[in-house]
Amino acid sequence: MVYLTRKAEFSASHYYHNPAFTPEENLRIFGKCNNPNGHGHNYTLEVTVKGEVDPRSGFVVDLKQLKEIMHREVLDAMDHRFLNKEVPEFFTQIPTTENLAIAVWQRLESKLQKARLHRVRVYETPDLFVDFYGEE
Amino acid sequence: MKAHLTRRYRFSSSHRLHSPNMSPEENLTTYGKCNNPHGHGHNYTLEVTVSGPVDPTTGMVCNLVDLDGFVEREVLSRYDLQNLNTLQEFAEQVPTTENLSVEIYEILQRGFQNAHLERVRLEETMMNSFEYAGTNELRR
């Protein structure tokens, strides 16, 4: 089994707010991240796939295809966007790094052909990242 | 849905690698420059990985305020700008980064209840890093 990781960057804004909480609860739990005007990050996304090496091509997966899938399914939808207002998953759930990693996984999983998705890693900042391995 | 969250911290400490159970010659052979009696220092980078279900009401595995607060209070304030050899936990063990990883893991394991502790990783320099995961499987 060989593991291959492709990186991408995107810039997006978001804020943390649960409409079921009172304003005081939202402020206490989310602090500055509750500012409804949002704030932004340069996110780094790492998509790790795994599979056997194809003996003819020497590839686990065609990187051109993986790059196209990542652009079409994730980056085009999220890059330079306000996540809470423009990405459907985040109309009803909070765009934390955790939920972002899960959303990226769900967008990519069924679109890969030969290789299997092993891990999605999202860096919100260089000092904070979340890994999702597809576990319920 | 279960996710793994990793947070990075930094602290600076000095240490000397020396074992009283070895002769001076053995210490020099084993530890080389790290045996310098005056010690030397590192800017350590600490990564703490916790895991758990993503809370549907907050979207979080755990609140960073809680994790940062605990690590600041129990780990960074203990080790930052300190000489590791002067600390009680290194009175009878060499303050290698291996041993430091285990100490930090155990501080978190004993005291941080908000999420499951997966792993502690320490970068001693840009070239050397160490990971300790207790009884967990080390995920790649």
**CB-based contact (8 Å) between A131 and chain B?**
yes
In this complex, which of B4, B59, B140 lies closest to A96 when CB atoms are compared? B59
Domains and CATH numbers, chain A: 2-132 (3.30.479.10)
Q: Is residue B36 one of the residues assigned to a domain?
A: yes
Q: CA-to-CA distance for B18 and B95, rounded, in angstroms?
A: 9
Q: Helix, strand, or coil here: A6?
A: strand
Residue A68, pLDDT score: 96
Split into its structural domains, chain B has a count of 1
Q: Helix, strand, or coil here: B89?
A: helix
CATH code where residue B98 lies: 3.30.479.10
Q: Is residue B140 one of the residues assigned to a domain?
A: no
Q: Is residue B85 one of the residues assigned to a domain?
A: yes
Nearest CA distance, A57 vs chain B (angstrom): 25
Burial group, residue A136, by CB count within 10 angstroms (0-12, 13-18, 19+): exposed
- Residue A71: active-site member: no
ipTM of this predicted structure: 0.92
Q: Helix, strand, or coil here: B45?
A: strand
Q: Is residue B139 one of the residues assigned to a domain?
A: no
Tell me which residue range forms the domain holding B29. 2-132
| Cβ distance of A133 and B140 shorter than 8 Å | no
Q: Is residue B102 one of the residues assigned to a domain?
A: yes
- Residue A33: active-site member: yes
Residue with tokens 């970068």: B123
Name, in order, each residue with C-beta under 8 angstroms of A67's C-beta and a sequence gap of 6 or more.
Answer: A6, A8
Predicted confidence (pLDDT) per residue in A24-33, tens digit:
999 999 999 9
Helices and strands (H, E) in chain B, number of each type = 4, 5
* Amino acid identity, position A76: D
Predicted confidence (pLDDT) per residue in B45-90, tens digit:
999 999 999 999 999 999 999 999 999 999 999 999 999 999 999 9
In this complex, which of B1, B59, B139 lies closest to A136 when CB atoms are compared? B1
Q: Is residue B87 one of the residues assigned to a domain?
A: yes
Q: CA-to-CA distance for B2 and A98, rounded, in angstroms?
A: 9
Q: CA-to-CA distance for A30 and B58, rounded, in angstroms?
A: 8
| Cβ distance of A128 and B60 shorter than 8 Å | no
Q: Is residue B67 one of the residues assigned to a domain?
A: yes
Using N-to-C axis directions, what is the helix angle for B97-111 and B64-71, rounded to 10°? 130
pLDDT tens, N- to C-terminus, chain A (136 residues): 999 999 999 999 999 999 999 999 999 999 999 999 999 999 999 999 999 999 999 999 999 999 999 999 999 999 999 999 999 999 999 999 999 999 999 999 989 987 899 999 999 999 999 999 999 8
CB contact at 8 A, A49 and A61? yes
pTM as predicted: 0.94
Element (H, E) at B10: strand B2-15
Q: Is residue B88 one of the residues assigned to a domain?
A: yes
